[in-house]
Chain A
């Protein structure tokens, strides 16, 4: 079956290159929306899903839909992870400033 190794390799290369070189907020949103829209179309047009499935050597349209949705969900999870990492960094800076400020106040009071 051609679809699995093809998707796996393309996804891995694409994600690495995208995060390393190309990433912008707009492209993040367009990619997620693109995946979502493609899945919506295939759900609404099952005959199209079946056609594409056979083209890629996948048995059924619903399987093809899953193979398409899975990388999209993984990509979205990666976006969330980077956002969480950024938020953690911001929280750390705030907590640090607060800790040092409190120490300074304690020191002045003594």
Chain B
């Protein structure tokens, strides 16, 4: 999924042996995920994996996550940095603190208490793919996913994932201060919905 990138990403992507989809305007990560999921639904995908494009995630974690789905132990598997001792230390201290705060806010908001609520690494079964419909375009989609899991009764599991922070991933990843935007969006949506 290319969310209308302004660098050379699309030219590189469309020449690779992958199915590449590009938004005509920049909409946000949540919207990009939902577009990818819609494509997967239309093509009867058995599984779908959310995988960030900033190089943080490790593709070697995918088989383990899909294994849980294949064994029908869960409908959605959510990666967790905090279940992997080797990864915890790699998360910057300030970000760790913010993520912990995010866990509390997400827990109070969605009713789901996970160890890592803003990890973009997820694996979905066909049931989860057809149940989850993201309406939050920005980074608030992570909290929306949790609320939807709770509301629809999807079975979930956490999986210890590896994270690598590089200068590139820090540059591309969301700013820690975006947490304020996420909380504000959450409050406004609660009041106005």
Contacts and interface: CB of A to CB of B under 8 A. Distances in A.
Nearest to B192: A19
Nearest to A79: B192
A65 to B, nearest CB: 27
B27 A19 contact: no
Given A16-B191, A96-B38, A103 B20 contact: yes
Contacts of A78: 192
Interface in A80-105: 81-82, 85, 88-89, 91-92, 95-96, 98-100, 102-103
B38 A95 contact: no
Chain A interface secondary structure, helix, strand, loop or mixed? helix
Interface string B1-36: 000000000000010000111111101000100110
Give the size category of B's interface with A. 20 to 34
Interface in B18-73: 19-25, 27, 31, 34-35, 38-39, 42
A93 B12 CA distance: 26
Nearest to A15: B191
Interface of B: 14, 19-25, 27, 31, 34-35, 38-39, 42, 135, 137, 188, 191-193
